[in-house]
Structures are given as C-alpha cells and as structure tokens.
C-alpha cells in the first residue's frame, strides 16, 4: 500500500515515525518534518520518494548506505544525530520517573571502530561477504567501511578471500575482526568441517595477510604473536573473539569517568569485568576484585596482572552475577563498585547495591532502558545520581553507551 506520510519524530531504532489512520508507521532513512511517499505494510514502511526534504538531511558519505544495515543515521546532520542519542537517554530515565540533567553526547570519530563482525553466505556459486542488510538475514557485500579503523578496511579483500575457504555449504560464516596493537586478530565461527588442505590454505592465507592470530571455531589455527590490547598502557591478551568496547577513544572516555569517580575508594569491585577494561586501569591505584562469568576473559586479566606493569592486586572470581549477585555483606567490603553488564542490565546486582553501604557506584551500559531501571533501584535505595554522560561508540546507529555515577 502506498501513502504520503509526514514524519513526526525519530523512533528508538532511528527510523522515522508517522501516524496514519491505521496506526503508527516506522519508515527507515527518514527524518522529522519530512513528507514522504512510502510503501507500507502494517507498522513498517519503505521509503519510495522524498516529497519534502528536511533541512537536517545530509548526503550519506558511504556508498553502501541504505543497503548495508550497519549504519542507520548517516543521512542526519550532526546536530540532529547528537540530539537524538542524548534524547534516547533522557526518555529512558523519564519513563522511570527520573527527570535528571543528561550531559551532551561525547562524540567518536569516523574510522575508529576497532572491532567488527562480518558475515559470509553462499549465493549459488558465489560467496557474499559483508554486513547484514537492515532487518534481514541477507548479506550486503561491501568494499569499504567508514566506521572501521583503517587496518580493518585494508584487510577487507583478504577477509573476503578467506570466507570461501572456510564457509559451510548451509551455515552463515561469521568473522570477528579485532584491530589489536600488534595486528589483526581474526576469529571465525561456524566454519565447515575442514580437511587438511583447506586448513593449510586458511593458515597460509592468514600468514600472507600478516594477521596476528587466526582462530577457527575456538581453536587457534595460527598465531604469529599474542594479540595485545592496551588499557591506558596496560597490555592484555584477549581470548579469541572476546568482547571489547568497540572504539578505543570511547572506552577511554568511559574509563576516565569511572576511575575519577572511584578515586576516593580504597578497594573496588568490577562486576561483569570482562578482560579488564576498568579493572586494569583501577588497579593502578586500588585493590580490585574482578567478577565475571567468562573463564577465558578472567584468565586474560589474571595473566595481565602477573606481568610486571605496576598494578596493585587484582583478585578474580568466576560467577554468574545474574543468578548469584554479590550479597550486601560482600559488597560492603568495597568503597566503590563499577558494573558494566550486557544489554539485559544489572537488576539483581542493583537490588543488592541499593541495600548496601557502598559509598560510590559507577554504572556503564549500552542499553539506556535497563540502565534507567537499575538507576531507579539505586536511587530508591538512597543513592544520588551525580552525572549521566551519553557516549557514542556505535557511530551512525541508534545505539548509545551511558555512564551514570552515583554516591550514597
């Protein structure tokens, strides 16, 4: 069904929102104030024609924009883009009854994403390598990427050539590529059952490309040197495919806020610590207890602290914090706590913290909705929210990172 619509606002996913007699419609690649012609089906629409263009619209710089689903907002100017991301945080906290001062968005530059996940699928005799299209299982082939660091962009031809060597006949191949300090770390998932010839071919390909490490379904195929990630100069060797903050500059901005907030504390706990994004930095001045469910991540952090780097003691604990959060008694050992959970948030942890005596809490989240819920619990338990800082590290998408700082 074709209709002329007026876009009123941006939805939470960065798509345009319009009202119709049949109900609300969301149309990607549109901006507030625009009149458009769209093909609609239910609550979704597809842009067919711009009838009236927004003054906030700019020409998207990437040749793949509109097909590749990696970016959603390249067509919005900087002012609208930054306001949208800040407003996502404001709206999430307002829904929890919290009307608070949210600071301006801390920006990240183009070409700064050091970790990217690519997909490859068979399409008849061809193998398509790239990113998923928006809201689709189809893969859009790419030749460049404006958000990735140059080292990853330069490696796109080699990565695309590796895919046919390892791809399964039916399953989608996933390649997680991390730009470490000393080269690219490539972790492949869902590869075909390899014979000796294919495995050797993949190893030779990685060596010729100069990659630091190639891992195939959790097994290191070849490694020229342990890949290194630096946390404020502290070297950590991440396990294959490990979670890392996507942009080093954004990570540093988050870490500065957390470290400065927790500076008065003697001992601190880092919950959902991962490989030590915050724990390693905090250990310069504090005794740190790092808690994480991923054994490989904890092993990497433990190995890092055993290398002479001038750090105070880091104790580690493997624990599922969703099922078994630190108790009030355990928390009261610490003068400060930082938590950085997955998108589901840290509800169980926040409930315990809300009844604790911990003076300082720093919360980091990639999901404003669950962070606002957790903040409500802390505030109801007697904490005061000092700062809310939105930080961009998923450039031209609707995603936004947030740091919230609390004190008793």
So which residues are the catalytic ones?
366
Element containing residue 280 per DSSP (H, E): helix 279-282
Distance in angstroms (rounded) separating the CA atoms of residues 134 and 73? 12
Half-sphere exposure of 38 (CA within 13 A, CB side): 26
In sequence order, which residues have a C-beta less than 8 Å from that of residue 132 and are 6 or more positions away? 69, 119, 138, 139, 140
3 state SS of 259? helix
CB 209 within 8 A of CB 155: yes
Token pair, residue 304, equals 């890092």
Checking DSSP bridges between strand 234-236 and strand 229-231, what pairing results, if any? antiparallel
Separation CA 227–CA 222 (nearest Å): 12
Nearest 5°: phi and psi at 50? -90, 110
Q: How far is CA 55 from the centre of its chain?
A: 30
CA-based nearest residue to 298, from 333, 272, 328: 272
The response to whether 340 counts as a known ligand-binding position is yes
211's tokens: 């990659």
Q: Is 15 annotated as a binding residue?
A: no
Q: Are 393 and 246 in contact (CB under 8 A)?
A: yes
User: Shortest CA distance to 392 belongs to which of 371, 372, 366?
Assistant: 366
Please provide the DSSP assignment of 281-311 as one string. Answer: HHTTTSEEEEEES-HHHHHHHHHHHHS-SSP
Q: Beta strand 16-20 with 23-27: parallel, antiparallel or unpaired?
A: antiparallel
| SS3 label, residue 344 | coil
Strands 183-189 vs 213-216: parallel, antiparallel or unpaired = parallel
Beta bridge partners of 234: 231
Radius of gyration of the chain (CA): 23
Angle formed at CA 30 by CA 26 and CA 31, multiple of 5 degrees: 105
Annotated binding-site members for S-adenosyl-L-methionine: 245, 272, 292, 340
């Amino acid at each position: 069904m074709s209709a002329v619509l007026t876009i009123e606002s941006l939805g939470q996913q960065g798509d345009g929102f319009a009202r119709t007699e049949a109900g609300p419609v969301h149309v990607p690649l549109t901006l507030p104030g625009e009149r458009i012609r769209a093909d609609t089906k239910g609550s979704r629409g597809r842009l067919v024609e711009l009838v009236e263009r927004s003054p906030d619209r700019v020409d998207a710089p990437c040749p793949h924009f509109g097909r590749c689903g990696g970016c959603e907002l390249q067509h919005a100017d900087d002012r609208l883009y930054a306001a949208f991301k800040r407003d996502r945080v404001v709206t999430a906290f307002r829904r929890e009854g919290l009307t608070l001062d949210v600071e301006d968005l801390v920006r990240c530059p183009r070409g700064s994403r050091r970790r990217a996940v690519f997909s490859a699928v068979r399409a008849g005799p061809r193998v398509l390598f790239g990113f998923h299209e928006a809201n689709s299982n189809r893969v859009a082939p790419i030749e460049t990427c404006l958000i990735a660091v140059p080292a990853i962009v330069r490696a796109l031809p080699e990565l695309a050539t590796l895919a046919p060597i390892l791809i399964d006949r039916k399953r989608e191949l996933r390649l997680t590529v991390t730009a470490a300090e000393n080269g690219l770390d490539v972790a492949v998932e869902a590869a075909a059952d390899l014979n000796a010839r294919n495995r050797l071919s993949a190893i030779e390909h990685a060596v010729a490309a100069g990659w630091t490490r190639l891992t195939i379904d959790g097994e290191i195929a070849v490694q020229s040197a342990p890949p290194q990630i630096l946390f404020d100069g502290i070297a950590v060797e991440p396990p294959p495919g490990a979670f890392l903050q996507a942009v080093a500059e954004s990570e540093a901005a988050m870490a500065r806020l957390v470290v400065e907030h927790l500076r008065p504390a003697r001992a601190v706990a880092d919950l959902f610590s991962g490989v030590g994004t915050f724990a390693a930095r905090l250990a310069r001045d504090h005794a740190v207890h790092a808690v994480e469910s991923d054994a490989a991540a904890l092993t990497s952090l433990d190995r890092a602290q055993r290398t002479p780097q001038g750090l105070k003691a880091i104790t580690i604990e493997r624990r599922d914090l969703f099922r078994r959060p630190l108790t009030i008694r355990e928390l009261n050992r610490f003068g400060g706590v930082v938590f950085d959970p997955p998108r589901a948030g840290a509800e169980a942890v926040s409930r315990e913290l809300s009844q604790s005596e911990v003076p300082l809490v720093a919360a980091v989240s990639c999901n404003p909705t669950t962070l606002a819920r957790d903040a409500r619990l802390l505030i109801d338990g007697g904490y005061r929210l000092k700062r809310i800082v939105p930080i961009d590290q998923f450039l031209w998408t609707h995603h936004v990172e947030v740091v919230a700082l609390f004190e008793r």
